[in-house]
Amino acid sequence: MLAVFGAGGALYGVDALAAANDHSASKSVLVLGDSLSAEYGLARGAGWVALLQKRLLAQKISLDVVNASISGETTSGGYARLPALLKQNPNIVIIELGANDALRGLQLKSTESNLRAMITAVQKTNAKVLLVGMRIPPNYGRDYSDKFFGLYSEVAKQSKVPVVPFLLEGVADKPQWFQADRIHPVAEAHPIMLNNVWQELQPLIKTMLSGSK
């Protein structure tokens, strides 16, 4: 199984946040992720986050998508940036982080603690949370790999939030769907990734649009 790694910056997080400021009354989805969500190695607009916005528009769902993802981001980095992002008052926050923690050999307790803290911070604003799970290669040790994968469902269960079990489900076992680094998916794989997220996101959107937030 493959996971995220790399360096770079948010593709359009800053622009999107500025736009969100100008349209503060509109409802929004904030994506806080790493290179899998930041369109690493892809043409702008080809990643699953951009495809999500297109799907919402096609379905006439009035919901802005704010991509605050950064390649190489860890859970600690995401947690540090979250307070400023929450000032934009997102209605739904998608957290797609953790793989870089594992690839750097960070303790799972730290990753788990950061994910819980992020979820708690979002819930305090009454926004809804969707946690996105990942896997790491078994060469990091079967025990470590299994526990890393399992922590997402455990955190989601205890925090009472939905979880996408594995963002790269249906992609990870297809080598032809990865860039030369064999880590980051090519554009053709991102519709599959979006579908994986959409299964859990769609019910949240319906609930949010029918409620107060």
Instruction: Tell me which of 15, 146, 173, 181 is the catalytic residue.
Output: 181
Per residue of the chain (213 residues), give pLDDT as tens.
333 333 333 334 434 444 434 444 589 999 999 999 999 999 999 999 999 999 999 999 999 999 999 999 999 999 999 999 999 999 999 999 999 999 998 999 999 999 999 999 999 999 999 999 999 988 888 899 999 999 999 999 999 999 999 999 999 999 999 999 999 999 999 999 999 999 999 999 999 988 754
What is residue 186's DSSP assignment? P
Element (H, E) at 129: strand 128-132
Which one from 64, 71, 145, 184 is the annotated catalytic residue? 184
DSSP H or E run through 66: strand 64-67
Q: Output the CA–CA distances (angstroms, integers) from residue 23 to 18, 26, 28, 91, in the order listed.
A: 9, 6, 10, 13
How many Cα neighbours within 13 Å face the side chain of 92?
A: 26
- pLDDT given for residue 25 in this prediction: 56
Tokens at 22, concatenated: 């100008």
What pLDDT shows up at residue 7?
A: 31
Q: Is the pTM of this model over 0.85?
A: yes
Residue tagged active-site, from 28, 35, 37, 69:
35
The reply to whether 184 belongs to the active site is yes
185: three-class secondary structure by DSSP = strand
**How far is Cα of residue 55 from the mean position of the Cα atoms in its chain?**
17
Whether residue 69 lies in the annotated active site? no
Burial class (CB in 10 A: 0-12, 13-18, 19+), 107: exposed
Active site residue 159: no
Query: What is the 3-state composition of the chain as percent helix, strand, coil, each rounded to the nearest 5?
Result: 50, 10, 40
